[in-house]
């Protein structure tokens, strides 16, 4: 399987205080993505708080999403776990329920070596029965994939792409070029970090793995399409219009902000899993003020 090019939209996983998945709210979120025509849905990513959910809770979320998306877009699902055997079982669950691809983060308590990461990914790819995308998220996992390790993993059957973090534009574009020279044709090179992702998309990255896209897919799709059509001016104009949202993400973290936004916009009412706390009343008022000032064309 080749990952689709374009926008992979990552919604929250709305749950009650006991971690029970709110199926109605999750359906509403996924339906928005299906209706918008996103290129892929990214379920149970970091925004979907995969590491805070049990195996059964993850299965429930996946069953809801598969049913709602109804084949309209590929479904990428987080299968990360501390133990390799647990990640294999999560990948098998995802395969049996109907996911298209797994997103595997190297979550750990003891920091992994590159050889340990290689064996972890190779085993899950071999035994899980699901195409895998490497999830490079050093801000949470404290493990950074070197270009050499990504190149090595790109040769493993069943590993089809990488989701890398974006940073300073020059460094990220150079990172993209370096990887492009190392991996096979068709190996997906995608980026996350919404406020910095425009540069690699303009430079030819395959996928924007987007937090905001999981809530406001319309404007994020417009940015992706402009970049794909080499309309740099339009892509930059739209990205600049979202500048106040990017500032909220930088200030409060994208996870906390999208939970607040989902409630403010009347899409879903949920709090992040404890011990993560919702935004304070003051911060939430700040988010509401920013959202209220955005042009209506952006809030779709």
**Residues annotated as part of the active site:** 135, 163
Convert the pLDDT of each residue in 184-193 to its tens digit.
Answer: 999 999 999 9
Question: DSSP letters of 157-211?
Answer: TTEEEEEEE--SHHHHHHHHHHHHHHS-TT-EEEEE-GGG-HHHHHTT-SEEEES
**Residue 145 banded pLDDT, cuts 50, 70, 90:** very high
113 is in an annotated binding site: no
Put residue 230 in one of left, alpha, beta given phi > 0 → left and psi -120 to 50 → alpha.
left
Residue 42 has pLDDT above 90, yes or no: yes
**Residue 244 banded pLDDT, cuts 50, 70, 90:** very high
For β-strands 207-210 and 6-9, DSSP reports them as parallel
pLDDT at 298: 84
Q: All domains of the chain, ordered by start, with CATH?
A: 6-229 (3.20.20.70)
Within 8 A by CB and 6+ apart from 28, the residues are 267, 268
| Residue appearing with tokens 């150079």 | 174
Residue 2 has pLDDT above 90, yes or no: no
pLDDT at 17: 81
Average pLDDT in the chain: 96
Distance CA 218, CA 26 (A): 18
If one counts every other C-beta atom within 10 angstroms of the C-beta of residue 289, the result is: 11
């Amino acid at each position: 399987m080749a990952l689709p090019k374009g926008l992979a939209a990552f919604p929250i996983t709305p749950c009650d205080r006991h971690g029970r998945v709110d199926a109605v709210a999750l359906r509403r979120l996924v339906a928005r993505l299906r209706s918008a025509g996103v290129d892929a849905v990214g379920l149970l990513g970091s925004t979907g708080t995969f590491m805070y959910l049990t195996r059964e809770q993850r299965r429930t979320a996946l069953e809801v999403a598969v049913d709602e998306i109804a084949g309209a877009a590929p479904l990428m699902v987080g299968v990360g776990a501390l133990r390799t055997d647990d990640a294999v079982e999560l990948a098998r669950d995802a395969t049996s329920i109907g996911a298209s691809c797994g997103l595997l983060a190297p979550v750990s308590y003891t920091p992994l070596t590159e050889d340990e990461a290689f064996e972890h990914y190779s085993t899950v790819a071999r035994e899980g029965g699901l195409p895998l995308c490497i999830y490079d998220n050093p801000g949470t996992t404290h493990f950074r994939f070197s270009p050499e390790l990504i190149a090595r993993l790109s040769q493993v059957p069943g590993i089809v792409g990488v989701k890398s973090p974006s940073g300073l534009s020059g460094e990220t574009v150079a990172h993209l070029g370096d990887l492009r020279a190392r991996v096979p044709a068709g190996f997906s090179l995608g980026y996350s970090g919404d406020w910095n992702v425009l540069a690699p998309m303009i430079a030819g990255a395959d996928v924007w793995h987007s937090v905001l896209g999981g809530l406001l897919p319309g404007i994020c799709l417009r940015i992706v399409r402009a970049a794909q059509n080499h309309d740099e001016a339009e892509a930059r104009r739209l990205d600049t219009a979202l500048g106040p949202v990017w500032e909220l993400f930088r200030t409060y973290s994208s996870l906390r902000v999208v939970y607040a936004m989902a409630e403010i916009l009347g899409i879903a009412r949920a709090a992040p899993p404890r011990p993560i706390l919702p935004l304070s009343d003051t911060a939430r008022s700040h988010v509401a003020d920013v959202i209220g000032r955005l042009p209506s064309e952006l809030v779709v």
